[in-house]
Each structure stands twice: as C-alpha cells, then as structure tokens.
Structure 1
C-alpha cells in the first residue's frame, strides 16, 4: 500500500512537471500581459460591443479565445500563444498546428532555419540528412479588421488540421508547421474598421513598425523565416492571388521568388475554382499593362507579404471575391491549395529559399528572371526593367555618435531596428577611413555579404528615382515609392562600395545612449532639440511643473553660440543628472541665462489630422485633443492655444464654424498648417494673403536647405531630407512682411528617390517649402512637406515640436 502511494505521488509529480513544461503552451497557453481578457487566462475574454460582418455570421473577437481554447484542449496538434496586444489592448493569437510530438522539436527546426541565415551552404547539406525536416507555413488573418473572412477561414483551417485524420492532412502535417496569426487586427474586427484603434492601416506599417500589431508579426517572421506567407484580404472579384504586377523592388531575388510563387498561385487558383466555382486573377500573369494604366505592384516593403519576402518567403496577398460565407470558402480553399502544393514541392522550394540567402551570404550577383516564366503580355517592358538588378555595396557604416550624427539616439534606434528584423550588424574594433572620412572605433558596420542583404539594403539605401521608367501611365498601388531610414530618421551613414580590410565584431543589441554634462559653476544647462528624446524630456519636465526656457534668437555665452530653439534648464544637479542618464542628452554649461529666453508652458493643442500627426505628437510627448468638423462647427475651438491642422478645409466648415475660427485667431490663437489643405486653410481664414504652388504628383524623398539660424529649424543640419506626398511651395517674392523661410527645396537636383513625374520641370527647385511668421500677435507656421507620413519620417517630427514651442512667449 505504501509503495502504491509512493508510485501515485511520483506519477502526480511527473504529470505536473509535464503540464508545466510542455512546449508552446499546449495545455495552459501563454499570455504576455492579458490584454482585454478576464483575469490571467487568455481564453476568458471580456465581452464588449462588436460590429460583426453584415454579410454572414462571422465569429466575434470575444469568441475567438474560447474557441481556440476548446480546440487546444481537444487536439494534441494545436498550440496557442498570445504574442502581444493590439493598439487597443486586445490579444493577438498565434496558433501553431503541427504533427503530434513535433512541438518538442520546434527549437531544432528553428535552429535549422537559422542555419539558413548563418551558413546557407551547410543548411543545404543538412537537408540531405534530415528528410523529415518540416517547413513553416504562415497564414495571416484579417489585417484589415472589416475584412472578416480571413479570420473565419483561419478558424476553419485550424479545425480541419486539428481534427481530420485523412491522408491529405497527415501529409501536410508531415511536411509543415502551420502558423496562424488568427486575428491580426482585433481592434478593427471589434470596431468594424479597416484600421486599428490608433487609426493605422497595419498593412502599410511594416517598414516603419510603429504599431504593436506589425511589431509582433515582424518578430514572428524574423524568428521563423517562413517558407510561405499568405495574407488573407478582401474584396476583389475575380479573386486576386499574387504575385504582383511590375515594377518589382530590386532588393528581392525575384527570379527565385517568382519561380515558385507563380506556380503556387496557379495551384491556389485551381483549388478555389474546383471547390467553389470562383475564378481568379493573377496580376503577374494576367494583366496587360500596356493598356491597363493600373498596377498591383510589390514595390514598397510596407505590406506584410512583401516584408516577408525579404526573409525569403514566397509571399502572397489573397483578395477574396465575396464578403459573404463563400468569401470564407474562397480563402479556405486557396490556403488549402497552397498547402498541398507545398507538400508536392517542398524540397525544391526550400532549396531555392536557401539559395536566396546563399546569394547574399556569398555576395553573389542577382539573376535576371528567366524568360520562360515571364508573360510578355503582363511584362511588356521587361527589357527596360532589368535595369533594376541591384548592385549592392560592400557595407554601410553608421557612427554611433560624434560630429557626423545629430545625436546618438537615431543611430541607436536604427541599429536596433535592423537587429530586431534579423539583419546582422557588427562594430569596427579600430578607427578607419572611408571616402576620406575618419570613422572611430565602435562604428557600426553592416556588411552586405549576409543572407538578408535585400532587407538590409531596402532599409539603408536612399532608394531609386522611379519617376520615368518608360511605362506609360504608371501608377503605384500605394505610397510610399521611396523610404530610407537613414534619410528620414536623421541618421548619417556611409556607403562602402568595395570591401575594406577592417576588423569587426558581431553585436546583438545597440549600445545604450549615454549623455554628457559640462562641469563647473554655472547658472544653467542648455541642450539642443536634435532628437526625439530632447522633446520627450522637455515635455516630461513641463508636465511636472519644472521650468524650461527656450532661446528665440541666437545668444553668445562665454564664447559659445547657442542658436534659436536651444533649451535651458536651471542649475539643478538632480535635473541635470536625469537628462543625462535617463534621456541621454548632452548638456552644455551656461554661465548666464539670458533674460529674453522664453519660459515654456504646457499648451492646449487642438488637432485636426491623421494617424501620422497623432503618432508624431505622442512620440514627442505632447498632450493634445482631436477635434472633428462637428466640434469646430459647434465652436469647440474656444479655449485652445493652438490649432494644428493637416486635413480640415475651410470650405468644409459651416458659417458658425468659420466665425468661431476667425474669433479664435483674433483672440491670438496660433496656427500650424500642414500640407496643401492646412496651408490653404490659412489663406481662407485670412491669416495669410498669398497662394502657394501645390502639386499632387510628388511621392518622393527630397533634399532641403534649412535657413539658419531659425527656431523652427533648430536641431537640423543645414542640408537635410524630407518626404513629400504632394508638396506645397511658396514664391519668396510674395511672402508677406514678417514671414521668414525655415527651409527651401534644394536648388538643382533636389529629388533623391521616389516618384515625381516631371519633377525637374516643376519649378519647385530652390523654392521655400516651410515658412513661419507672426501676424497680430498670433504665430503661424506653414509646412509644405509631409512631415508625419504614417509615422515614418521621424526626423521631421521635430519640425512640429519646434513649431509648437516657437509660439510660446
């Protein structure tokens, strides 16, 4: 009896250990913070008002957690994990489906996937040894919240793979680990909106990763390097199955991608037709661009599947043709067709995926897409387009600090962004000289002979001028056609064309930014607004009621010139230490704080703008309140100090709203106008009496000349860069008295990259693009670039911060 009791005790302990250590949370699941769930159990979701599909009985977000829990409890093939929370705090569910017993080998499979990156030739040899090697297959559900069908298709597919014992399912599970991001945008699903609760289209955010949803998915892509990535959307009829139309971004190894992506698309097309009767279109194959004038391109890395392609995936967007139940069917059968195609073609597909990485690892040239897989009807200008074969540099180099960088904050963020997304970064162990520039020991070096060179290059390069490709009526599906983290995040980086014999060592994290402080007996400490951190620190101090002053004009202190926009705190050792150690700021000792320095205060800011404007203000640490047209028409502008406007036209207000705005400005209310709409609003409201030149054509990165010294330009280089999606510029001769030029579009060849047909004949070269002035005690700032586009061009966020501070007196 005693031995039996001992046996039961041991058995119980072993069972407890098994339950607690089972990989991937097969029984208990994982939950990072809980989100909007009850208690700590991710499957207990707090019910809330939801907007379901109007076309069929779609599963509610609140039902997804319990449903996944039920499947997990009843199938030993399914693991559920919470990989983070949405902007609105709702859980993001990752479901991993694999053959029983496979989950214990996930680490092994991931290590083999990582070998593809670290030593692709060795990985190819390993494939011959591991015949049971399983490849990750990723399905992304409903990144646009009101495209309900994707998530419902995911649930159906999970159930099929969890319970079905057919030979077909067995073959799929024998060859693949299937990853389902079940509801990529839970906020949108609950609210019935395309965007998340912060107003972002998550499927435009992957090159910026401003949102928690895109960050979580990008982390999974970097972790798993999936062989296939399917993104479930709607609604296009006939069903649209990528690959895309041209032009294709040159940072892909497109010949290897299209070889399998096109055949996989055909397999999905057949599966959909055989099981639902829906026909499909494949843009790469079917569209005649010589007459269409419309494109479904894969140029920008903002879309989820395109971003996955930089990690070697055969990526596809699927646009189901119906909002109703048969739209769920179409997605289901498309994915099913892709799964079966991979069963048949996995070995060759994985070899070509590894070849993508091998080319980068060995610094091999790209290959022209073979003619036998090119539809000439779909690609009439291919001979001209093969100019897009990429010539990669040997390396990019980024000093972590020093005179070449505005501040160390931006380089640190960029380096961490590269590392988080699977790009290998190293550091120089000694000083070196490149292109007559001296770089110190500790400079970051991103060698381009690495597996993910395409991703590294698309993040770090200037981009291409695609204004004249020789394709008639070319239209890109969605901006931007130009992006460059160094140029738009304010990071100096050098380009090494030929490999140099410099010694480097691998880094796994960007170094923490360290501030500095001049010593001595002083009256205060000054710092420049050269970083996002400087604004966040300043706004934090103001929120706590701590005095911060700002120079309106240049000031000479002990032989050192402090420019307009310089920020000054009192001689307080605790405060100074906080700015140095918490915020990483460099403080200059000030012998005397000039009397004309303006004491800053918290301002009540009314904002009419998009998600980019809101993200900019939140990133800088400003408090603000959004106002609607109804608010303005009801006189809600009263009581604010500043109106920041990007997208409210004057004509869209009724008479009462216009009268309220006039009274606001007559009472000294300040105004910041962004873009064409914001600038025209100033004219219509009587704040200015000149009409800017405006063009909708630009979608580009341009070079700016900043006019120094200037408070709005504080913290910028004399020559810097900006993004324009549409642009407004001014005639210098017609600027009213009291207005100053902050920045002009550079004279000559100002276009760095992007799409601006006729840019060199636009008349924009050398013209003022940012101006500011004072009229009857109100400050007015007009900005003709897109300084906040989708939260990406962080360097020009600081223009908004300077403009807000500049209106204080």
Structure 2
C-alpha cells in the first residue's frame, strides 16, 4: 500500500485518459499527455505548508569550549565557536537565518544558514509556489514574466563535507558575518533577488576529530545517491527542497586550486549543454578572483586549474555519488572546489602551528573568493541561469531528446565531452506476483520520492507495453522534470570501459538492479494509459499466507533478515531449510503476524513435512569496513568486532559461531598467538565468510576451501550480471551484483560448489578493462565462480567466499541477504556432512 500525495489540482479539473506524459492530478487520476494546466488560484502543495517568512532564526545550542577540537591548531573555528558566531549574526541582522538540518551520531548539529532580505509569510509562500511551478510546470514557468522578475534565485554553498578539509567552514562564516553587517547597496540588492543557503559544516564530527569521514566511518561525498547517513540525508533533502541554480562544494587540497567543471566522462543523464554553458564561465570567474588575491609561488600557491580545460581525464563527473554531481540533477550548475595548501593528514602533525595557520588563512581567502565570485556570477547572469534551469525541467516534462554540447564551445569542448542517453518512456515497479520483494519495492519508491522524483501508484489495473500490471503497482513516468535523476536511480547504467582509460571513482551503480526490487523498463514510444495518484510514501503491505503447516520466510531483503531476528527474539523454533529459506512453525502465528505487519515481509505457506537445521541466533564476528558494519546494522544483526590488533592483543573467538572477514584482518600481520586463535576457531567448526582479497588470503592461510583466486584490475568496478546455482546462499538471489577490484575462483577442489558465477558477458555498467598484458578483464571472468562455498569433512567448518562487493558502501541493498544467508549457513550445524 502507499500513501498518496494531495492533489495540486482541484477535482473540478477534468482529465482525459491519453497515451501520455506527466499528469499533475492526484489520487485516482490519469497520467495525461502534454499536461501543463493553469494553476488554480487556491491549491494545496508546497506553498500551503509555508507558515514562516524570513528571517527564520533558530537559537543554536552553544556547546562548552572543547580545547581538543582539531580546528584550533589551524587557527580556525572550533565546533563550539560556530553556534556562538551564528547566534551573534542572527541577533545582529534580519538577513541571517539558521536552521538545524541534522544531528550527527555524536550529537553535533549540521546547520544551514540562509542569507536573504526579509520576507513576509505571503512572500515566502509566493516563492514556494514559483519554485514548484518551475519544476512541475516548466513550460508555463518559461512564459511567466512575473516569475522571472520576482523569483529569488537559490544558491547552495556546502562546506566541510570531508571533516579534515577545514577552511570552507571559515570562509562560510566570513561570508555570513560580512553580509549580515554589510551596508554595500550591491549586497542589499543581491539579497532582494537571491537566497544564499550555506551548510557551514556538513561533517562536524570529522572536523572536530581531524578525520575525513564522519563518526560512522562513511565518506559522505560518496553517499549522495544512496543517502545512508543523517548528514547526507539532510543535505540531499535540502538540495531537493531548495532547487538551487548554482552549487559549490568546498574541499581540499589540490595545488593549484582545482575548480570544476570536470574532464570526461560527463554524466549521461545531464543536460550538459545547459550545465557547461554556465559552469565553465563561472570557473573562469573563480579563477580570476583567486588570482586577484595575489598569492603566488612565494606563498607556495600554484595557479588555479580547471580540469575541463587543463586535464584530459581522471577528474570526471560521471557518478552521482558526489554532492555537486547529485545537485546537477536538481537543475544546479555545480562545482567542486579544491583549495590548495595541505594542512591535514601528515601535514597536520609535521608542520609547525605557525605554518599551518599561514596555510589555513590563505586557503580561507581562496575559498571565500570562490564563493563571492560565484555569487557575482549568479547576480550578473540570474535571468539566464533561471531560464536554463527551467529549460532543463521543460525538456524532461516534454520528453524531449538531450542536446549534445556544441563542439568547440569555449575552445575546450570536443567530441569526448558528448555523453547522451536514450531515456525509456517509464519504469514500472510491479506489485503482486511479478514483484520479487515487496519491502524492496517500497524502499525503492520511498527513495525516489525522497529525491524529488514523481511516482504514481495504480488505482486501476493497466496494460503497459504488452504486460498487465495490477492495482498497487508503481509507475515512474520519465516525462517529468527530474527524469535525469529518475533514470540515474532506476536505469542499468552504461559500460564506459572503451571510452576512457581511468576513472576517479566508481563507474557503475543501479538501484533498479541492485536494490532487490523488480523494475521493468518501458521503451520510449509506448503509450501510458494508466490511472493512479502521486505517492507521498510507500508502505510494504506484507502477507501471511493461510497455513496449518507453518510458513517459509525467504531471505531476499534486509527486511527479511530483520524479521528473522524478531522471530528469534520472540523464541520461535525456526529451522533453516536447504534452499536457504527459514521455516517458521505454525505455533509462532502471533509473532509472525506482528512481523508481517511491522516490516511488510511476505511469509508463504510451508510445504507439508518441510524441515531443516535448527536455527539459533548466530554470534557473528566481523573484520570489515565501516560501511559493512553499517549494513549489518541495517539488517538488524548484532556483531562483534574482530581485527588483527584485537587478535594480537588476546581476543578469543570461542564465543563466535562464524566470522566475516573483508578488511582489517591481515594474516601476515598476525602474531603466532593470533594465528593460533584463528586455527583453533576453524578446527572447532567455526564458520568463515570471506570477501575480497582479505577474505581469500585468510581462506588460503587456514587451508579452508581448495580454490585458486584470480583478480581483475584493482580499479575495475561496476554492475555485473551473474548466474545463481541456488542453494543456501544464492537461492532467491538477484541476477546482478556489484564488483570493485573483482575476484573470481578457479580450480575448485572436491566439495567446493560454485554458487554464483559471472555471466558470459558480465559487465552491465561501469569500467572494467583488462590489464596491460590483456589479462584480468571481463572476458577472463566470464563463466567463472564469484561465490563459492564448502564444508570441511573432518571439522564440519563451513566457508563461503565472495569475489564481489555485496555490501559496498551500504549501497547494493538487494545483495545484503546473500551475506546474511552465508553467515547463517556457516554458523549452522557443525556436524560433518556424511
């Protein structure tokens, strides 16, 4: 089931059922061709929820002074000082509004400041109405001269997403305090036609601790399209809500200062011709503003560099994981800025305090210059920026083809800068028997809606592209303003291995293929004759089949694993079936009913006589990444940390049933006591689940599975097609998974089974080439085992090895259950198999 969003149009507006595009009607309404209706005078929608004008001032909690704050050594603002300064700015000026976007895991606040001229409630509502019209009725907005005059163009400035890249925060504070007190008429005029939104420190935990990552161990600038962390969710939501025309993300350290736009490849779902039209001229303006500061070689400062102009490749804007690249899908011209002089990592401790402060002061000046130059560009080119944002959305709503960027533009654009895609007509996320996982489908729909993508739920059955879809199915019509973002999330992506030699980060991702829901692509040109309302949020309905023989819980999704934990906590006598499913006995009906209601999982009727191994809650040790630990938490699994250091310090493993190894446990770094502890653990029947090179190394050292490990290039990554053999680990698995530095296993010994293998053409999207000798490419991996398992005939110890990345950065959520199944199997009965 799903909650439907209120209709922005009154019921008196009649609609006809046509082969269509975007409709703007609500529950029970049709998707209508070419809809661009005039907005009724009275409506619900974003403006109706606006009950405050500007300023919207929040008195921030001022923490106690903390002399251990890492910023103090650099002469920069400590976390405890940020709230004090912002409170003072709010008291001094009605141009300054502060709001708390999120609270970190340690209790620190992520604060966004808005600089703008005061607005009444009515004026703020008018701004919200215009912003909504730009996104949902862009053709109308393009014709609206009043909107063009009155709309306050939003700008988004983001600082300190990497905690030990400090100075963006101090530049933001300087800008806020300057604009709060400025009597410059140009500043006053700018704030009459602009809202400037500044996230002062996106990663206050990392800033305090001199750490790149947040306190949970995540690189927040790799998390935007997945959005697992509270800091990332908050900034994602703010970008979607604000809909900025321009965005900066302040980083360090590259000397000379790096100013995007980037090298190829460029995101194929952008309207790149409209993006680079402003990104490159603004970069030139930033460059000049930095040069005008007068810093040079005598200061250790090299001239700025613009990758699009100065590099051939290696700093691309292909993946949507970075904040600026994500913001572009909301119509923003967006830049990463890398300030020049390193003050973090080894420099933080090796340089004198005097030198660190000199560098930090220069960096702050440069970050401030990038901000003010960009604001000047927005002010000067306001009309064009707004018109081009409207045009981005208009193309989406109209379903028009992208335009290739003009060859030779600015003297820097060439054929290698042209990246386009063929949009499908729509995506369908079915309900009923055609849906692999109801919880996965609901999670995917909620994620789309959170990102500002319009999703409709059928209130009448529909025939789409020759297939029948029942009531409750979801339709994502790509004739909508954020079609680029919708296609980025749901599409399979593209294999770009042949177009560039190297990539900066990942090259493939797909919520549609990796999150565990069934998603169907509808080709362009197919009619959409459907009736349904816009979804506000989805809820997996769940089901408990009528049964006197108990039920089977198929472990296909993180929600299923959480359900398993709830059933075990309630004392249900569960059994693990040979195919990896879980038998829930009939006497557990009450708790099964509650789990279905709470988690939306589906319990099928158990076959008569079904039985398997007794299933107890496993005790799991994990030597893994922070993201993997997070994924275990998402599944509701309690784990014990294990590491090389802990084993060398005397950690005992006899309380564990199974051990997951992927990172932080290195055999060559173990002392004899640590090695002996691992040997004793498996000799006593302890299970091992190994991922990647670290897992394979532990397997080899302990002589567990007889396999040979082969490796692709270390930078190879992407979405791959696989074939599943079924059984306790890969039963009910998806036909796709994710790899990074892919491995595969050959020369399988007796008793070793290949549970999952690469398909004959494995790479679906991403970048995976053979090495210089022609080895290690996808052709070499084709047909080879990527998940293997086996059981020791003497000890009963069970082992599973993964050559894939099923928990990578907590993104491929549809693969989580593979790991849970592997842990359950390896933690199972240690009686040797006859």
TM-score clears 0.5:
yes
1:72-471 matches, cutoff 5 A:
72-101=90-119, 105-128=123-146, 131-277=149-295, 280-289=303-312, 294-322=313-341, 323=343, 324-376=360-412, 382-383=414-415, 386=418, 388-399=419-430, 401-469=431-499, 471=500
Change (3 A) 1:590 1:338: closer
The counterpart of 2:568, out of the listed 537, 542, 548, is: 542
Counterpart check, 1:777 vs 2:777: no
Rounded Cα–Cα distance in structure 2 between residues aligned with 1:50 and 1:476: 38
| 1:55/1:325 contact within 8 Å kept | no
Report the alpha carbon displacement of residue 276 of structure 1 after superposing the two structures with TM. Answer: 4.4
What do residues 26-78 of structure 1 show as CA deviations (whole Å, max 9, x unaligned)? 34x1xxxxxxxxxxx63232555644237621111122122211211121111
Q: Which runs of 5+ in 1 are unaligned?
A: 1-19, 30-40, 554-562
SS at match of 1:712: helix
Match of 2:810 in 1: 791
Aligned equivalents of 1:704, 1:689: Cα separation in 2:
22
2:763 corresponding residue in structure 1: 751
Distance 2:212 2:618 in 1: 33
Q: In the alignment, what sits opposite 2:748?
A: 735
1:487 is the counterpart of 2:513? yes
Is 2:665 the partner of 1:633?
A: no
Residue 599 of structure 1, aligned match among 614, 625, 628: 614
Q: State whether structure 2 residue 831 is matched by structure 1 residue 808.
A: no
| Alpha-carbon shift at residue 680 of structure 1 (Å) | 2.0
Secondary structure (helix, strand or coil) at the match of 1:782 reads strand
Listed as ranges, the gaps of 5+ residues in structure 2 are: 1-49, 296-300, 344-359, 771-775, 830-834
Task: Classify 1:273/1:697 alpha carbon distance in 2 versus 1 (closer, same or farther; 3 Å).
Answer: closer
CA distance in 1, matches of 2:519, 2:573: 36
Q: Does the C-alpha gap of structure 1 residues 638 and 427 become closer, same or farther in structure 2, counting only changes over 3 Å?
A: closer
- Shifted more, 142-151 versus 564-573: the winner is 564-573
In the other structure, the counterpart of 2:32 is: none
Among candidates 580, 585, 588, match of residue 596 of structure 2: 580
Report the Cα distance in structure 1 between the residues aligned to 2:255 and 2:120, rounded to whole angstroms: 39
1:620 matched to 2:635: yes
Post-superposition Cα deviations, 1:672-709, rounded to whole Å, max 9, x if no partner, equal 1001221122101222343211122531111111102x
| C-alpha contact 1:606 1:624 (8 A) present in aligned 2 | yes
Q: Is 1:515 the equivalent of 2:542?
A: yes
Deviates more, 1:407-416 or 1:564-573: 564-573
**CA deviation profile, 1:569-621 (whole Å, cap 9, x unmatched):** 44233212212211222223447565x52232233222111122112211111
3-state SS, counterpart of residue 535 of structure 1: helix
For residue 273 of structure 1, report the CA deviation from its aligned partner. 1.6
TM-align CA RMSD: 2.2
Do the aligned partners of 2:98 and 2:112 also contact (CA within 8 Å) in 1? yes
TM-score, normalised via structure 2 length: 0.86
Cα separation, 1, equivalents of 2:132 and 2:335: 23
Q: State the distance in 2 between where 1:26 and 1:750 align.
A: 53
Cα deviation code 1:767-806 (max 9, x no counterpart): 1110111112211111111111100001111111101111
Q: Are 2:690 and 2:699, in contact at CA under 8 Å, matched by a contact in 1?
A: yes
Distance 1:655 1:374 in 2: 63
Aligned to 2:298: none
State the partner residue of 1:691: 708
What is the 5 A alignment of 1:665-676?
665-676=682-693
Higher relative contact order by CA 8 Å / sep ≥ 6: 1 or 2? 2
Normalising by structure 1, what TM-score?
0.88
CA contact (8 A) 1:745 1:765 kept: yes
**1:52 to 1:778, Cα distance in 2 relative to 1, 3 A:** same
Closer, same or farther: CA 117–442 of 1 in aligned 2, 3 Å: same
> Which residue of the partner structure matches residue 528 of structure 1?
554
State the secondary structure of the residue aligned to 1:534.
helix
Instruction: Give the whole-Å Cα distance in 2 for the aligned partners of 1:590 and 1:427.
Output: 31
Pair 71,593 (structure 1): closer, same or farther in 2 beyond 3 Å: farther
Deviation, 1:288, is 4.1
- Secondary structure of 2:251 counterpart: strand
**1:188 aligned counterpart, secondary structure:** helix
What is the CA distance between 1:477 and its match in structure 2?
0.8
Q: For the Cα contact (< 8 Å) 1:249–1:300, is it kept in 2?
A: yes
